[in-house]
Amino acid sequence: MVNLARASAARKKAGYVGKRNDTIWANVNIKAFTFNDLADLYLVVLNGLLNGTADHGKHGGWYFGTVYEHTWVKVGHLLAK
């Protein structure tokens, strides 16, 4: 996203890459000490694994954390503002 912002600023025109403007991407905040962030997810999973309440499956577990969603065309519109 930073590269898109830099390119938009350099061109003095916002845009997006790709043909699909309806594809939704999931976001998660990875900064520590922020509400609903990836650090909180790590703590929940770790505590669950340590006390036996989180399922880890036969070959380990997959845990997905997402808080926000975006499309690249929406990002382009926000950069244009």
Encode pLDDT of 30-71 as tens digits.
665 555 567 777 888 889 889 988 776 666 667 777 777 888
d(CA 55, CA 32): 24
Alpha-carbon distances, residue 8 vs 15, 47, 55 (angstroms): 7, 43, 44
Determine the pLDDT at residue 59.
65
Determine the pLDDT at residue 6.
87
* Confidence (pTM): 0.49
**Residue 19 token pair:** 């043909």
Residue 4 has φ and ψ, to the nearest 5°, of -65, -40
Determine the pLDDT at residue 22.
74
Q: Residue 18: which residues within 8 A CB-CB, separation 6 or more? A: 72
